[in-house]
Every structure is written in structure tokens, then in C-alpha cells.
Structure 1
Amino acid sequence: MSRIGKKPIDVPSGVTAAVDGQNVKVKGPKGELAFRAHDDVVLEFKDGKLTVTPREETKRARSMWGMSRTMVSNLVEGVTKGFEKKLEITGVGYRASVQGKNLVLALGYSHDVIYPIPDGIQIVAGKPTEVTITGVDRQRVGQVAAEIRDFRRPEPYKGKGVKYAGEFIFRKEGKKK
């Protein structure tokens, strides 16, 4: 039995949710999101609560149960609070800045890396070594953060590169004479 799937999702005031078969649409102060659930689960909206239940007792239905509940919960959280990822840039001369609709990264290459900011995502470079990515869709915020991190992953010897805030970089010892 899914312990996550059993919990109903509270829809706060100011947020409207509509269930149409396998589709869920959630609209709130930060925007509107939609999700199509798998056919193995049933979605219901009653008394300000969204519930997800499996159609039958199969292994696939049970696995889709918890996943679908989490996806719908992320929709509600996204339109009320939003999601945020922070990246830290470490290295001499490594920096980031936002110029118009682009994020410009100086990461030790012979050229600056220019990353176009996707729609629905806000990127702020408060300090030259910090980048904050915010948005309503958890998947897109995480995907953008991963794409930016991939331009220069942190290396294990000096720790230079782009890393998530709070991420531990396993350090290695250099060559010995």
C-alpha cells in the first residue's frame, strides 16, 4: 500500500482545481498547471481535497498511485508558492549575469556561455557567483538548473564549477611526488 498515495491533497483557498477524467487543471495566484494521470489511477475532487486511488491491485497501479499523487501535489504547491533552485559558481573568474532574456556565464572557456531563459522561468544572478532559478513547474525548474550545471560540472580536485547550493563535492587528493 502506498503511504504517499493515501494522503489527500488539500487545495488552499484562492486555488481552483478541476478534474476531467484523467486530466487535472490547477489555477492559482502564480499561474496555471495541468497534468494527465495514468489510466491505472482514479482522480477525484471533493470538499476542497484531491484524492488519488488505484483502479485495481496490480504492481503497476500501486506504483502509479504514489507518483500521480506527488505530481498533483506539486501542481498545487507550484501555483501557490512556486519552486526555487540555487546554484553556486566556484572558480577564479567564474561568474554569471543576466542580460535581457539570456543568462551569460563565464566558466573558464575561451568564450562566454549564453543560455536563453525559457518561458515560465525566472533567473536572478544576485551575486556574480550565485544563480537563483524560480518557476511554478518543478520539473522545468530542475531541468533548467541541471542544464546550467552541465556547462561546467564541479571537478573533484579543486571544486571549480557550477554546483547546487548545499551539494557536497567529493574531493580527491592530487598527485604526490
Structure 2
Amino acid sequence: MSRVGKYPVTVPAGVQVALQGRTVVAKGKNGELTLDLTDHVDVTVEGSSVAVAPRGEDRRARTMWGTTRSLIQSMVTGVSTGFVKSMEITGTGYRAAVQGSDLVLNLGYSHEIRYPVPKGIKITCERPTAIRVEGADKRQVGQVAAEIRGYRGPEPYKGKGIRYDNEVILRKEGKKK
């Protein structure tokens, strides 16, 4: 069983982590994130490190111990450097552009798809076939990228669609005569 919870989270310079009741608040150059704690863990902030400890020896306390530590680590990383998901669009005529506060996608349908950019997320298109999703909240960045990919996922025959940069598409062979 992993013991990731026993390692303290180091807080880099420029990030402040505070404990307000049962809520952990992290502030940095990319904004502010909060985490409500469960009753199964205790958190202590000492100087430039945050320590998490389970309240008991039951199974739920031990699972929440590592989970809480990982969530706090993601908060600290998010407010200091942020998270990025890059996506690539493949297909003839498929393209993306940011217009105002909307991401406009042309993905081979009879209409264009307008995706409103959520608060706390920054979407950029360096090229018409490249989308970059940035933000401080790791969960929100991943969710937005998954929603965009869901409009036209990559298909296995020609590889057309939206895929993550590090994603490998298993290609299939087409029909034979």
C-alpha cells in the first residue's frame, strides 16, 4: 500500500498556504484555490511545508490521508506554475479559434460548435489545429480538455478528430476487396 501521505508538501516561494478552520487556502501568482477537508484527516502548516495526518487507523482515514496530500500538492503546483493540456486537431477543414470568450470549433459538422470558456481557464490557439488549455485547477483543466475532445474524438481509421498531444491512436486497417 502506498504511503504518499507521509511526505510533507513543500511550499515554493511566492505561494502562501493557510488553514482556515477545516479549509486549506493556497494563494499564488495564478490565483487562489481552496480545499474543504474531511473529518478523517488533520492538516498542519509549518513554515514552508504542509503535513497531513490521518485521524484514525481505519481504512477510510488512511485512504483520505494520501488523497488529501495529493490534492494539496496539486493546489500548490496550480497556484505557482499552473497546469496545461495541449490538444491537436487532425482532419481536412477541421479548425479551432478563440472569439471573445468562446472557443469556436469547425469539426466537419453542418454547424460550428461554440464552447464558452469557463472562469479560471485560459484557452489559446497558436495554430488553427492546436488548442492549449491552461489554468490553476488541475481537475478543471482536465475536465475542460475532455469536454472539448468529446465533440469529435479521434477515430481509428484515419485518425481524424481532436486528440491530446501525448495520446497515441491505435490505427485499424480499412476494408479489403
Matches within 5 A, 1:69-88: 69-88=69-88
Question: SS in structure 1 opposite 2:62?
Answer: helix
**Equivalent-residue separation in structure 2 for 1:51 and 1:175 (angstroms):** 58
Partner of 1:174: 174
**Equivalent-residue separation in structure 1 for 2:166 and 2:9 (angstroms):** 29
Q: Percent identity?
A: 53
Deviations 1:126-158 (A, max 9, x none): 001000000111111101000000000001111
Structure 1: gaps spanning 5 or more residues = none
TM, length-normalised to structure 2? 0.97
Partner of 1:63: 63
**Off by >6 Å, runs of 4+ in structure 1:** none
Contact conserved, 1:2 with 1:65, CA < 8 A, in 2? no
Structure 2: gaps spanning 5 or more residues = none
**Alpha-carbon RMSD:** 1.0
Partner of 2:93: 93
Question: SS in structure 1 opposite 2:162?
Answer: strand
Partner of 2:134: 134
Question: SS in structure 1 opposite 2:18?
Answer: strand
- Letter matched to residue 154 of structure 1: P
Contact conserved, 1:42 with 1:55, CA < 8 A, in 2? yes
Partner of 1:102: 102
Task: State the 1:38 CA deviation.
Answer: 1.7
Task: State the 1:39 CA deviation.
Answer: 1.2
